[in-house]
Amino acid sequence: MKKNWKKGLPVLLTTLTTVLAITACSGNNNTPAASATNKPVKGNDNKQPVDQASEQKLATINMVMPGDQSSRMKAFLETEFAEKMKEELNLEFNINYIPWAQYYDKLNLMFSSGEALDIFWGSPSKLAEFANKKNIMAVDEILPENGPNILKHFPEENFEAVKLNGQMYALPVAKAPTAVKFHSLLVREDLLKEAGMDAITSVQDINDFAAKVQELHPEMTPIFEVDPITPYYRAFAPQDVSLTPMGNAPQYYVNEDEPGGKVYSLFDNVDIVKQISEMRADWRSKGYIKDNQLTNAGNGLSEFNSGNYAMTTGAAGDRAVNFIGSLTKNVPTGELNEYLLNPEKPRYKQMVVTDVFYVAAQSKHADRAVQFLDWVYENQSNYDFMINGVKDKDFKEVGDKIEKINNDELWPAWMLYNKTYAKFSTIIPDKTANSYKNWDEGAVLSKTAGFVFDNASVKDEEARVKQVTVEKIYPILWGFLDYEENFPAAQKALKDAGVDKILKEYEKQLTDYLGNK
């Protein structure tokens, strides 16, 4: 999975020293297995022997990183980082940065050539591919002895999510909040306070907030959303029913309250579609959303950060903490927070692991590579050093927060996020920081957690359905076309395009997936 969107994170992370986790993938594993400390199944010809005696020897760890290296990171690796690694772990590092667009292609070349490589970052969605091609080694045997802090600071579900056929093939060392991802609303907290409101928990709250913003700031447009569907499952489904959309295809959903792998189409749920359409038609008539909502959707988040809007689509709390730097450049007094509609409803997690490190099959120092990552989570000082740099040179401690002196990105915070150690920037209000840190509290795994849909048999149908959705459904959902006059014909067009075949394939695969758990 390419993460080109993370190219912009160095700017965002100058104000947040915690995360971005959007990485948006879960373990690609359909096979239950033993716990993280169990020995791997015998006969793993992908595993390299571990030289236990190398612990006391100077070793060089060959590593690749995605993206562009900042000037401060270059100096940091050559000086303070190199000195600390030599002193504390007797390690030297050879780290090669690869642009996002070329990252996985270059990795594949390294695998095929046998080029020196010990450890690398990767998406969890790549696990099965890497393991099946024998590009990576199982880490079951080396993790207990060399990674006790990793085992201590991450939940068991992380380790289960990186197993394939009973063996663990990755180090799941990032755990950002993921519950009800993209179900939330990102709100200008400063404007919410100005409106005399404490939270947004219902569609009526949205209406009240938009009216106040329009009254207090007529130059602004209250709402610009980038997802017309996901947040409103919580608003318009019955109060005692929890509907979870299918990841990147929110027009399909499951009912968490019923057993089995039954999958539904939103476009068969005429009640929810009608309520969304009529809500947005009302917003358009009042000027709460612009007529360019459909044509300018790609620029919605950047325009929000410019201070032109008061509410947009959230992302499990991380947009509130990651967008604040961009917003405050344009609106110095701006504040952000994220809210769920019907917050008393259960929160379900579809994503288990956000980011992982893999140990390359050709590694000659697998144990030492794991020891390095384990060192990061040994204590607060080590974690701060990795993410924030040198105290009083790169950052200052202000209570339990961080004030950045150097704005260059070092080790990406999203890549190593851990709730125990992560610290927030001084410009992030406590309410927003606490909301993010506690976002996953009380959440439970969705029945779709870890499920990956294989669209090979329905690619043509998906292309046709997408075209109908863009041309006929979205204008209805955004309130541009009247529901009563246009939805029946649009619904028929979806049927003709093959939506039912796609739905059946989702249901078949999810049922098989659940049956194998």
Secondary structure of 188-243 as H, E, C letters? EHHHHHHCCCCCCCCHHHHHHHHHHHHHHCCCCEEECCCCCCHHHHHHHCCCCCCE
Residue 35 pLDDT: 33
Residue 56 pLDDT: 66
Q: How far apart are the first and last CA of the chain?
A: 24
Residue 23 pLDDT: 32
Residue 280 pLDDT: 95
Residue 322 pLDDT: 78
In the numeric block, which tokens belong to residue 278? Answer: 């009529």
Strands 348-349 and 444-445 turn out to be: parallel
Instruction: Say if residues 304 and 213 touch (Cβ distance below 8 Å).
Output: no
% of the chain with per-residue pLDDT over 70: 88
Q: Which amino acid is at 100?
A: W
Residue 121 pLDDT: 96
Instruction: Say if residues 63 and 96 touch (Cβ distance below 8 Å).
Output: yes
Which stretches in the chain have pLDDT values below 50? 1-54
Residue 127 pLDDT: 85
DSSP state of 92: E
Q: Of 199, 218, 413, 186, whose CA–CA distance to 305 is shortest?
A: 186
In the numeric block, which tokens belong to residue 383? Answer: 């974690």
Block residue for tokens 């041309």: 471
3-state secondary structure of 254: strand
Question: How far is Cα 357 from Cα 170, in angstroms, rounded to an integer?
Answer: 6
Question: How far is Cα 247 from Cα 24, in angstroms, rounded to an integer?
Answer: 9
pLDDT digits over 303-321, tens only?
Answer: 888 899 999 999 889 889 8
Query: What residues contact residue 418 under an 8 Å CB cut-off, 6+ apart?
Result: 153, 154, 173, 174, 175, 377, 383
Classify residue 72 by burial, with Cβ atoms within 10 Å: 0-12, 13-18, 19+.
middle
Instruction: Please state whether the predicted TM-score (pTM) of the whole model is above 0.85.
Output: no
Residue 297 pLDDT: 66
Residue 31 pLDDT: 29
Instruction: Say if residues 255 and 241 touch (Cβ distance below 8 Å).
Output: yes
Q: Which DSSP helix (H) or strand (E) runs through 441?
A: none
Query: What residues contact residue 7 under an 8 Å CB cut-off, 6+ apart?
Result: 67, 68, 100
Residue 17 pLDDT: 34
Question: How far is Cα 204 from Cα 342, in angstroms, rounded to an integer?
Answer: 11
In the numeric block, which tokens belong to residue 87? Answer: 């002193």
